A and B are shown apart, each in its own frame.
Chain A
Amino acid sequence: MFLQGYLPSILEGAVLTLEVAGLSLLVSVVLGFIGAMCKLSPSKPLVWLAELYSTVIRGVPDLVWMFMLFFGGQMAINELATRLGADAPEINPFVAGVLTIGFIFGAYMTETFRGAIMAVPKGQMEAGLAYGMSPLRVFFRITLPQMVRFALPSFSNNWLVLVKSTALVSVIGLNDMMYKADTAKSVTQEPFTVYMLVGGLYLVITTVSILALTWLENRYSMGVKESGL
């Protein structure tokens, strides 16, 4: 039998990997928008704060953040719990993984969205405001749909790097694809087959992503005049 029946277990891990990736993307997009808004706001402290966030996060490896936030977060919770005289809850590795990866890639998304918002012609927003739309409505009706086209290439890169970063969450005890592979490797004594399978599954995820994102890019570029280069 192929891998002594460990295939379903690894596929289960792949589903978990996808869940982690999808949810962290959501967190990172939200944080990225907040970061981009801060960077483009007139308030100096907000600009400074967002600058600090995107620089410090992007200057340190994902793995170091993961260790620091997971182990450090658990310690902070423990200390808080002792002060309150309660039992400290264990951090759920799934939640920790999603929040950590989301937090890291929020910094990359901040830069992506900042550039994309800046690329939308100012006059468009001004026209919206002149028609009496509220700033929030201008953002959702005018800025957002048009910035998608500018944001997509860099967004695609961030997503592909994010998917590959999920391979690291197994070190904080999440039973994703890598974690399941570790078990399968020890039992079956076929480490090459196991990791080739995992690599193949990652390749499937990245390939499907590339195809989907290219389709989206074409869709959002519809009607845009080409430069004819």
Chain B
Amino acid sequence: MIDLKLILENLPSFFGGAYGEPVLSTSDGLIMTFQLLGLSLLLGLALSVPLALMRVSKKKWLAWPVWIYTYVFRGTPMLVQLFIFYYGLSQFDAVRDSWAWNYLQEAYFCAILAFTLNTAAYTTEIIAGQIRNTYYGEIEAAKAVGMGRWLMMRRIVIPSALRRALPAYSNEVIMMLHGTSIAGLVTLADLTGVARRLYADSYQPFEPFLMAGAMYLSFTFLFVWLFKRLEGRYLAYLAPRKH
């Protein structure tokens, strides 16, 4: 029923090799998926820490814009966000005439932009929630040793919140791994894109999509395992007592 030969012959293309080329020669398939995932997670996380601080601020003019941003990005599908950047921005002459157009007409750049802003919105809410949950004793202790506001944020509040955000963040990472699968809809050849191309060539739907699915599944397991280890290391003090 399942054509093993078809899978074996096309295995290299899932790992980044085009037809007949050596493995890892181009940036397709798995490599593309990981580039999109890695870059957007990194940029998203970097954005979300300052945004989370603004989100929990008592100053309304700081907190409100971030609330609107996370509300809009979490309330709409990532596909729509991707299409707004990729197709939408070309509507304006001002955009097309600007230096930014060199980047904005590229699917790769638009995908990174949409994915980054999307994951930053979710991560901001996760981190902001954990900042609000900071145990009051930690803050009292910091004040008692004479730390100023920023020193306390840098040394106590943010590290402590980031640790406690780990379990929720692991879900976000897996959601993003799966979320990158829509990159193929704007011409990029990520894992799903490669599988789709193979389907278009061979008219065999099961083999390519099973292969892509199996790869997503194994990386999902890998991430779950990695985050378990991270939690064991950074949340050891919260683990239930062993005896």
Any chain A CB within 8 A of the CB of B136?
A: no
Q: Which residues of A from 34 to 83 have beta carbons under 8 Å from B? A: 56, 58-65, 67-68, 71-72, 74-75
**CB-CB nearest in chain A for B185:** A171
Picked from B77, B209, B210, the residue with its CB within 8 Å of the CB of A167 is: B77
Any chain B CB within 8 A of the CB of A19?
A: no
A-binding segment of B9-17, B192-200, B226-234, B235-243: B192-200
**CB-CB nearest in chain A for B205:** A71
Q: B77–A164 contact, CB under 8 A?
A: yes
Any chain A CB within 8 A of the CB of B152?
A: no
B148 → chain A closest CB, angstroms: 30
List B contacts of A194 (CB < 8 A): 88
List A contacts of B19 (CB < 8 A): none
B-binding segment of A119-127, A140-148, A185-193: A185-193
Q: A167–B80 contact, CB under 8 A?
A: yes
**CB-CB nearest in chain A for B224:** A59
Any chain A CB within 8 A of the CB of B20?
A: no
Q: B192–A63 contact, CB under 8 A?
A: yes
Any chain B CB within 8 A of the CB of A203?
A: yes
List A contacts of B196 (CB < 8 A): 67
Q: B87–A191 contact, CB under 8 A?
A: yes
Any chain A CB within 8 A of the CB of B129?
A: no
Picked from B72, B76, B91, B179, the residue with its CB within 8 Å of the CB of A61 is: B179
Q: Which residues of B from 163 to 213 have beta carbons under 8 Å from A? A: 177-179, 181-182, 184-185, 192, 195-196, 199, 204-206, 209-210, 212-213
Any chain A CB within 8 A of the CB of B24?
A: no
Q: A72–B209 contact, CB under 8 A?
A: yes
Main secondary structure of the interface of A (DSSP, over half): helix
Q: CA A65 – CA B210 in complex, angstroms?
A: 9
Q: Which residues of B from 49 to 95 have beta carbons under 8 Å from A? A: 72, 75-81, 83-84, 87-92
Any chain A CB within 8 A of the CB of B217?
A: yes
Among B78, B179, B213, the one with the most A-chain Cβ atoms within 10 Å of its Cβ is B213
B80 → chain A closest CB, angstroms: 5
Any chain A CB within 8 A of the CB of B115?
A: no
A112 → chain B closest CB, angstroms: 14
**CB-CB nearest in chain A for B206:** A72
Q: CA A199 – CA B89 in complex, angstroms?
A: 14
B169 → chain A closest CB, angstroms: 16
Q: A61–B80 contact, CB under 8 A?
A: no
**How does the 8 Å CB contact mask read for A69-110 relative to B, with 1 for contact and 0 for none?**
001101100000000000000000000000000000000000
**CB-CB nearest in chain A for B214:** A60
Any chain A CB within 8 A of the CB of B105?
A: no
List B contacts of A63 (CB < 8 A): 181-182, 184, 192
Q: B91–A191 contact, CB under 8 A?
A: yes
Q: CA A166 – CA B77 in complex, angstroms?
A: 9
Q: CA A67 – CA B89 in complex, angstroms?
A: 29
**CB-CB nearest in chain B for A205:** B75
Q: B199–A198 contact, CB under 8 A?
A: no
Q: CA A58 – CA B171 in complex, angstroms?
A: 11
Q: CA A181 – CA B83 in complex, angstroms?
A: 10
Q: A64–B75 contact, CB under 8 A?
A: no
- List 26 contacting pairs A-B, 8 Å CB cutoff, sorted by A: A58-B220, A61-B177, A62-B178, A63-B182, A63-B184, A64-B212, A68-B210, A71-B199, A72-B205, A72-B206, A74-B205, A75-B205, A75-B206, A160-B75, A168-B79, A168-B182, A171-B185, A191-B83, A192-B84, A192-B90, A199-B77, A199-B84, A202-B77, A203-B75, A206-B76, A207-B75
Given contacts A67-B209, A68-B209, A164-B78, 19 further A-B contacts (CB under 8 A): A60-B217, A61-B181, A61-B216, A62-B181, A63-B192, A67-B192, A67-B196, A71-B205, A71-B209, A75-B206, A164-B76, A168-B182, A178-B80, A185-B87, A191-B87, A191-B91, A193-B91, A199-B84, A202-B80
Which 10 pairs from chain A and chain B are nearest by CB?
A: A71-B205, A192-B88, A68-B209, A167-B77, A61-B178, A61-B181, A59-B217, A191-B87, A164-B77, A192-B91
